[in-house]
Structure 1
């Protein structure tokens, strides 16, 4: 859907003059830097961290753009995906006035960020098979709905949403459609980043925390039109990604083979775990997964969860979440971890 961002933005954001850092005024790499009030003598660590990092992460963005097939001006990097989510609420939703549509069960930070920013959420449940209820979503749209969040593969159910349903909503929602692809590397689906040229109201979120194994470095990606990316850059903190994170992620992106091997191993273990869980008597249902976890329905989820904790095996109890009665969410582990889980579940079933 074609949109006028000026009509969606909060008026004061439109008029906001962003903070200008020292690195905005001079972007060169050589010189005597006496502009940012840094410590000129270095750091107390073996490596020097006394200089501020690149506020726009250009070197890292250039490498990511090569891998993802998008231009650098379509890419925003945040302190985890959660930063991009929060900035979207700050940019587009007027506190106490505007709304965002959520599709439970889904990732909990959408609602938390909405609450922090005093934005009302309109909840349209997924269907019993965890798919989009497009008719109900369209019916829920009001003149103050600015954001629609679609998680695919979905958390906690693990499944891909039907692509045709997602495209239908992108074409018909009069605001920003956020497609959260945190688990896309475990999915057989193509990323929605290929749809960016055709849909100026689309924003795609991905992360380095899952398949890349870099959760501790806290780096998330948002892909959108250059116009939307400029808005996010306008309101982000000046140095939101540390120099250490930029350095380490750039090193990790030098060789993609290890990530591909790990992803293949996780998919293999997912298949193994799914097969073996089907033989455990207290497991009543295993939901199809396109992610690195499985949602399972068990007899007495709380009791089963507590029994696993007693064995020092920690999963997520999702039994109180909409459409997830008596369900546990289990991350795919190593073969040894999965075998210990299965042993503990069989013990709990006795």
Structure 2
């Protein structure tokens, strides 16, 4: 049975969070002289002299309408990476606790573990890039606080078997974090729908991928109210700036446009696969539920360097565990994709 008090760090449990001026007064006034801001405005076309809403209420309200989750179950951060770091700082005692990752997977889980001095336990995915549930169970001990699952997975692109994730949720007393950065491109339904069933579930999403807001750094975590309260307690007081909040709200009003991009991306992904699958140096193209494909080749380094020479940048993943010889190709515009396909067809090896 999950009990947040059993995995929460004692110092975080007893922490009194910083109380900002915007926390102490939340109404409307004509004169604000409480936060030591520049009262004259900003040397820009738009004023940014006032601190932003520390809890991003309007953004959460709109996300609530789109995702079907109450605002109290939503954390908004400076990219998903902030949520990842906060989960380490809130639930993992440095030098004592450990977490489990399932490589190949998103690299920030490991980087944040190292920054926070938390032991990292690797349980590689199977050959078909699925969870090895039995091996994960063998690595869990009393100090295991988090299990990280990226689905659809980066860099492999496939969705993780839902039943396997549910097995972890039902049998693990720590947090299972399901990173759904690419869920908008997936045929699999989001785990957000399972929040009421699993108290130890945290779902990460982002506006960086399908929503096209990578430069603004807006990420989300969805979890129980008690987990979100902890994350808000630990975060910096104004972790998402005013410009990002305003622009995110504008973007979130354009769901139809984003859905159109998603549809076109999936169509272009299929064209990309058809365009390169019969090339002599392509050994395999793994099934993808994301806006990229992982391609196993005979010479990842040579292909990568050849593409660079032609002004095309892909991601060389040959040094990643279980991705030897592979390159990761993001699906671009139709014109960009045609250029990549034509360039690959001219590669002689």
TM-score with structure 1 length normalisation? 0.99
Quote the offset at 1:255 in angstroms. Answer: 2.4
Query: For residues 186 and 340 of structure 2, what CA distance do their matches in structure 1 show?
Result: 24
Counterpart in the other structure of 1:228: 227
1:316 alignment partner in structure 2: 315
**How far 1:173 moved relative to its partner?**
1.2
CA deviation after TM superposition for structure 1 residue 279, in Å: 2.5
| Residues 32-181 of structure 1 mapped to structure 2, 5 A cutoff | 32-181=31-180
Q: Is the 8 A contact 2:130 2:160 kept in 1?
A: yes
2:316, 2:326 within 8 Å by CA — same for their partners in 1? yes
**Residue deviations 1:18-52, cap 9 Å, x none?**
00000110001333111000011111101010000
TM-score with structure 2 setting the length:
0.99
C-alpha displacement of 1:342? 1.1
Contact 1:104 1:123 in 2 (8 A): yes
Q: CA deviation at 1:344?
A: 1.4
Provide the alpha-carbon RMSD of the alignment: 0.8
Q: Which runs of 4+ in 1 moved over 4 A?
A: none
Judge conservation of contact 2:18–2:237 (CA < 8 Å) in 1. Answer: yes
Residue pair 1:84, 1:222 contacting (<8 A) in 2 also = yes
SS in 2 for 1:30: coil
Task: Report the counterpart of residue 209 of structure 2 in structure 1.
Answer: 210
Separation in structure 2 between the aligned mates of residue 258 and residue 296 of structure 1, nearest angstrom: 29
SS in 2 for 1:294: strand
CA distance in 2, matches of 1:118, 1:140: 18
Deviation of the 1:7 alpha carbon: 1.2
Deviation per CA, 1:171-224: give whole Å up to 9, x if none: 111100000000000001110000000101000000000000110010000000
**Aligned positions, number:** 349
| Alpha-carbon distance in structure 2 between the residues aligned to 1:191 and 1:349 | 42
Structure 2: gaps (5+ residues)? none
What does 1:173-212 correspond to in 2, within 5 Å? Answer: 173-212=172-211
Assess if the C-alpha contact under 8 Å between 2:3 and 2:173 holds in 1: no
